[in-house]
Amino acid sequence: MRELLLCPPDYYGIEYEINPWMNRAHGADAALVQKQWKQLHAQLSNLDCDVHLIPPQQGLPDMVFTANAGLTVGREFIPSNFRHKERAGEQPFFAKWMEEHDYEVRWLPKNLYFEGEGDALFGGDALFCGYKFRSDIQSHRALADILECLVISVELADPRFYHLDTCFCPLPDGSAFWFPSAFDDYGQRAIREHVTGLIDVLPEEAVHFSCNAVVIGRDIVLPEGAPRLVATLEDRGYRCHPLPMGEFIKAGGACKCLTMFMPQREKC
């Protein structure tokens, strides 16, 4: 059974603007926020996942996006060093919670920005890590030192897809679906060299955060608005569970951003 960490959206809202999706003039609808989040929670619970909840904190509206809390491998938790001061306050709460749940906290050097699973996803036998907008490439090397695994660093080129998990979603068979133009040429080549059976997501579907999906075995929980992708995934034998995520996309997040794996992998 996969263990997941979610954070109830009690204090969620568009209170600042730190990515191109955020606009304080278009705030979130609190009732709809609760409804969409509960649908996600229910869907993941139905997929036989053990869903843990971390208490939300007032003044930290983005704490709901637990994927950015850090990266968990086995019983080790590597907390994020958030680039934006608006989110930096989340770090101690996540680290404390993980420690209290018997994870060994492995800190990265403070001067290296790293935004957790948002920019670090295992695919095949490599850990794919995005850099530029939020995480520094130097943090990838620190991860490789801690985890002793192959880290493929890819540069993110489109500010709308500022985290790796907004444009790349590895699948358990070693393939992945992705939005190629979110990466620079070298990043695209590196991914193509290391991932077989790539599924390209159309631009009109990628903007619905279709790559921001939670994959549990053969089940994929993803935002609605990507019928072509869903059809392709179902052709490959996956069961897709599209969910309305509009209130979270307003902040630049969706299903995957709202979910952290505990752990993402047992070992590298």
194 binds another protein (CB under 8 A): yes
Query: Residue 210 in contact with residue 222, Cβ under 8 Å?
Result: yes
Q: Which is nearer to another protein, 151 or 254 (CB)?
A: 151
DSSP alpha helix (H) spans, 177-226: 185-194, 203-206
Residues 110-129 that bind another protein (CB under 8 A): 125-126
Q: Minimal distance in Å, beta carbon 143 to another protein? A: 10
**Catalytic pick from 163, 169, 211, 240?**
163
* Catalytic site includes residue 257: yes
Give me the 152-191 binding string for another protein, x by CB under 8 A, dash otherwise.
xxxx----------------------------x-xx-xx-
141 binds another protein (CB under 8 A): yes
150 binds another protein (CB under 8 A): yes
Q: Which is nearer to another protein, 207 or 268 (CB)?
A: 268
Given the DSSP bridges, would you call strands 120-123 and 104-105 parallel, antiparallel or unpaired? unpaired
Query: Residue 36 in contact with residue 247, Cβ under 8 Å?
Result: yes
Query: Residue 207 in contact with residue 241, Cβ under 8 Å?
Result: no
Given the DSSP bridges, would you call strands 3-6 and 50-53 parallel, antiparallel or unpaired? parallel
138 binds another protein (CB under 8 A): yes
DSSP 37-60: HHHHHHHHHHTT-EEEEPPP-TT-
Closest CA to 258 of 9, 29, 24: 9
Query: Residue 225 in contact with residue 213, Cβ under 8 Å?
Result: no
Stretch that binds another protein, among 85-93, 133-141, 175-183, 237-245 (CB under 8 A): 133-141
149 binds another protein (CB under 8 A): yes
* Catalytic site includes residue 163: yes
Q: Minimal distance in Å, beta carbon 218 to another protein? A: 28
Q: Identity (one letter) of the amino acid at 182?
A: A
Tokens of 205: 């579907």
Residue ranges in contact with another protein by CB under 8 A: 125-126, 132, 137-138, 140-141, 144-145, 148-155, 184, 186-187, 189-190, 193-194, 268
Point out the residues that are catalytic.
163, 257
